[in-house]
A and B are shown apart, each in its own frame.
Chain A
């Protein structure tokens, strides 16, 4: 059995953590798949998917670590007009942060439930907001 859906989210901050574990669990139920795998993917190169513990302190530390690793003020090459867009490429930090988090995650589905550790939560990570974003949830199994 194969199930696939896209969710759209309107982000409201430049960098933003958005918990989507509940949406993924709901999609598994909607799919009817009892045993298989679920994949969550971001459709973007400046927004990622991250799995971590949903604690305010950790969100702060992760945000701080990403900013230290990838500061806003740095002579990035991706800071120029792109002719194919007709607009400015000013989001190198978004691309680099999304590279670090990755664009997807994968979990087993067992007896109709997502099989994850108790501390594991799924985040959609905005790194160049505000924007309109899409992520996909794909469930495959039987």
Chain B
């Protein structure tokens, strides 16, 4: 198997950027991860090695106007990438309501060199089709940077499922066919809608960061061989699905193992575990 990339992780608890008890507790409450502790980089490396993962995409979230909070800043992401550039892929986030949103994003791409943009319409409280987003999408196109949208259920506080149905994103895919974007969490529970969009729009990707019921093996089997046709991903969507864990909320090790038990061809596993992420990242 080639390089393995986890396209969906949250670095809020990584020790170099979570240095005080006050910050730790703030992030626990903000992410709804109430008992998670700080993790030193050696522990992160151990987790990655056990799960067979070579690189992690680190996703921040800018909640400046909605919650007066940067749930990991773009600068902190850059700091982590600088600490371990071989293992970390840094994404940016921007609150579209910030008056300086475009400048902040241009700084993140142009100066900080971040690899893509994370947006969370439910929690940042915008519609993906809002005119507010037009210059942001255009900036992503200009820099050839992909977008990861939160889609579907979120267990975070202050994040309803409004703006989270995958169908909300169809006009974006149609209007910007060269904008690569990912519907995170496979848009659960709307996984059939996500599959339909993947089938029609080659610029849409989805990640596997979903584990809302049962064990990883049971849930993936239910979703990918029950809610979806058993062969849909292996035959038709194999170039658009990326391994993502949503770590630390979900279990990186057992999710990675479970995906390998679904009966997908080895070539499909290579695509899902790394090659598609490389394409997505451009």
- Whether B214 lies near A80 (C-beta < 8 A) is yes
- Whether B50 lies near A90 (C-beta < 8 A) is no
Determine if B111 is an interface residue (Cβ-Cβ < 8 Å): no
Q: Contacting A86 at CB < 8 Å: which of B32, B42, B251? A: B32
Q: Which residue of B lies closest to A79 (CB)?
A: B215
- Whether B214 lies near A86 (C-beta < 8 A) is no
Q: Contacting A90 at CB < 8 Å: which of B37, B46, B216, B248? A: B216
Determine if B56 is an interface residue (Cβ-Cβ < 8 Å): no
A106-142 vs B, CB cutoff 8 Å, 1 = contact: the mask equals 0000000000000000000000011110000000000
Chain B residues near A130 (CB, 8 Å)?
43, 46-47, 50
- Whether A86 lies near B34 (C-beta < 8 A) is yes
Count, A-B residue pairs, CB within 8 A? 64
- Whether A88 lies near B43 (C-beta < 8 A) is no
Determine if A13 is an interface residue (Cβ-Cβ < 8 Å): yes
Q: How far is the CA of A14 from the CA of B213 in the complex (A)?
A: 22
Count chain A residues whose beta carbon lies closer than 8 angstroms to a beta carbon of B. Answer: 21
B36, B37, B43 — most chain A CB neighbours (10 Å): B43
Determine if B218 is an interface residue (Cβ-Cβ < 8 Å): yes
User: Given A10-B40, A90-B254, A132-B37, are A76 and B215 also a contact pair (CB < 8 Å)?
Assistant: yes
Q: How far is the CA of A84 from the CA of B49 in the complex (A)?
A: 28
Chain B residues near A88 (CB, 8 Å)?
211, 249-251
A79, A84, A129 — most chain B CB neighbours (10 Å): A79
For the side of the interface on B, what is the size category?
Answer: 20 to 34
- Whether A14 lies near B218 (C-beta < 8 A) is no
A84-106 vs B, CB cutoff 8 Å, 1 = contact: the mask equals 11111010000000000000000
- Whether B253 lies near A14 (C-beta < 8 A) is yes
Q: Contacting A132 at CB < 8 Å: which of B40, B249, B251? A: B40
Determine if A60 is an interface residue (Cβ-Cβ < 8 Å): no
User: Given A79-B215, A81-B212, A90-B254, are A10 and B46 also a contact pair (CB < 8 Å)?
Assistant: yes
Chain B residues near A10 (CB, 8 Å)?
40, 42-43, 46
**Shortest CB–CB separation between residue B255 and chain A, in angstroms?**
9
Chain A residues near B34 (CB, 8 Å)?
84-86
- Whether A129 lies near B50 (C-beta < 8 A) is yes
**Shortest CB–CB separation between residue A87 and chain B, in angstroms?**
5
A88, A90, A132 — most chain B CB neighbours (10 Å): A88
B19-33 vs A, CB cutoff 8 Å, 1 = contact: the mask equals 000000000000111
User: Given A10-B46, A85-B34, A85-B35, are A90 and B215 also a contact pair (CB < 8 Å)?
Assistant: yes
- Whether B31 lies near A86 (C-beta < 8 A) is yes
Q: How far is the CA of A73 from the CA of B250 in the complex (A)?
A: 17
Determine if B162 is an interface residue (Cβ-Cβ < 8 Å): no
- Whether B251 lies near A75 (C-beta < 8 A) is no
User: Given A13-B50, A85-B33, A90-B251, are A79 and B155 also a contact pair (CB < 8 Å)?
Assistant: no
- Whether B50 lies near A14 (C-beta < 8 A) is yes
Chain A residues near B218 (CB, 8 Å)?
75, 79
**Shortest CB–CB separation between residue A126 and chain B, in angstroms?**
11
Determine if A67 is an interface residue (Cβ-Cβ < 8 Å): no
Determine if B217 is an interface residue (Cβ-Cβ < 8 Å): yes
For chain B, residues 233 to 261, give those with C-beta under 8 angstroms from any C-beta of chain A. Answer: 248-251, 253-254
Chain B residues near A13 (CB, 8 Å)?
46, 50
Q: Which residue of B lies closest to A74 (CB)?
A: B215
**Shortest CB–CB separation between residue A23 and chain B, in angstroms?**
19
**Shortest CB–CB separation between residue B209 and chain A, in angstroms?**
12
**Shortest CB–CB separation between residue A45 and chain B, in angstroms?**
12
Q: A90-B254, A132-B40 are in contact. List 6 more A-B contacts (CB 8 A).
A: A14-B253, A75-B218, A80-B214, A81-B212, A84-B35, A86-B32
Sample (13) of A-B pairs whose CB atoms are under 8 Å apart: A14-B50, A75-B218, A76-B215, A79-B215, A81-B155, A81-B212, A85-B34, A85-B35, A86-B155, A87-B35, A87-B248, A88-B249, A90-B250
